[in-house]
Amino acid sequence: MNNFLKNKKILLIVTGGIACYRSLDLIRKLQELGSIVECILTKSSLEFVNQITFESLLGKKVHSNLFSLSQEKKMSHIYLANEMDIILIVPCTANFLSKIANGIADDLALNVLLASKKHKVIAPAMNTNMWENPIVKQNLKKLSKIKFKVLHPKSGKLACGMKGSGKLMDIDKIIDSINLIFSPKLLSGLKVIITAGPSVERIDPVRFISNYSTGFQGYEIANNLSDYGANTFLISGPTQLEKPKNLKVINVESCQEFYNQVESRLPCDIFISVAAISDWKIKKYSNNKIKNKLNKLKLEFTRNDDILNKVSTHPHRPKLVIGFSAETQDLISNSKKKLNQKKCDWIIANKVSEKMGFGDVKNKISFIEKNNLENWPSMNKRQIAKKITKKIVNFFKKK
């Protein structure tokens, strides 16, 4: 995921609960991402953590007294309410959650929340019975209606010994959620279909034709487009990659399954064909395992559908159709032919070999459109995904 937290002013409110020590890890990771962090420790949090520990990590004083004035003679609760980009309550206890929901303002943190119109995010942590209490549920609904973002706790063994919901969300997931709030929604309102990974064409119940595609490039592009606000559908062949969290993933195997899923989701604004889909499939599938008694085995193949061409010539053709061209020789000439034959708008061409093009490795890309050829420098696939995303953003800006 792209980092949108650099130079963001973040106010962290820490309330009293056994999970409040984990907010130290949150501060450290936010600082590593370039965020400017201020912190309020509530009175109850000081029963669990040491103020000096927080101040050492922050490199500044924490805020705790409602009636103190800053060196600039500004009232703390108004200054913090107006100057921050976002307010996080991590962890948020049931007591503090109830006070927010009912407009109580009896300390600095609650005054800041009442006075602020900025983004507000709550990550609750509490006993399972408290989390499931109807009063807590009612308060959560109240807060959601007034645009508080609630990061629901996970299930597991709690400090009290119970098992169930109530554990603080993982810090990395909290950061991902905050990051998405600040992502520029430059592709908001656009629908994207992207294919990734290898296809699998079955020969018999235990054998198949496939390739070395890991899906890494397609997943990175899908993640980037989703970060920029696009409604993204990732149609994926079998991979070992973690499924992206903020977009819809549809798992398929064969070329026919790929096309069925793509076609059923048209119309869309952008189609990106990154998947390495086999050009051929077995003409006659064997329902039983083909035995190895013969010294020679003759298999007959037939052509698969050309998904990129079918989408490019579809009645509901997307506004932008992008293909990928993996070649072992004559990269540019073969890729230009593909651009014309497939009738797509752009071709992303790369030369593949045993040491290039597959997996999380550097790659050298040529970007090809009808009257333009750009030879990009060698980059890793994350950088390539970002560069392609910027190209797409600029394309729709012009439109």
Tell me how far apart the alpha carbons of residues 122 and 95 are, in angstroms, rounded to a whole number. 13
Tell me how far apart the alpha carbons of residues 245 and 152 are, in angstroms, rounded to a whole number. 15
Tell me how far apart the alpha carbons of residues 216 and 181 are, in angstroms, rounded to a whole number. 25
Tell me if 313 sits within 8 A of 343, measured CB to CB: yes
**Phi, psi for residue 182 in degrees, rounded to 5:** -95, 0
Tell me how far apart the alpha carbons of residues 326 and 322 are, in angstroms, rounded to a whole number. 13
Tell me if 277 sits within 8 A of 258, measured CB to CB: yes
Residues tagged active-site: 160
**Phi, psi for residue 90 in degrees, rounded to 5:** -140, 115
| Cα dist from 357 to 160, 223, 360, 386, whole Å | 51, 19, 9, 17
Encoding tokens for residue 18? 């056994």
Q: Which residue has the tokens 């003409």?
A: 283
Task: Using the CB atoms, write b or e for 54-71: b if 16+ within 10 Å.
Answer: beebbeeebbbebeeeee
Encoding tokens for residue 184? 């520029």
Which residues are registered as beta bridge partners of 155?
165
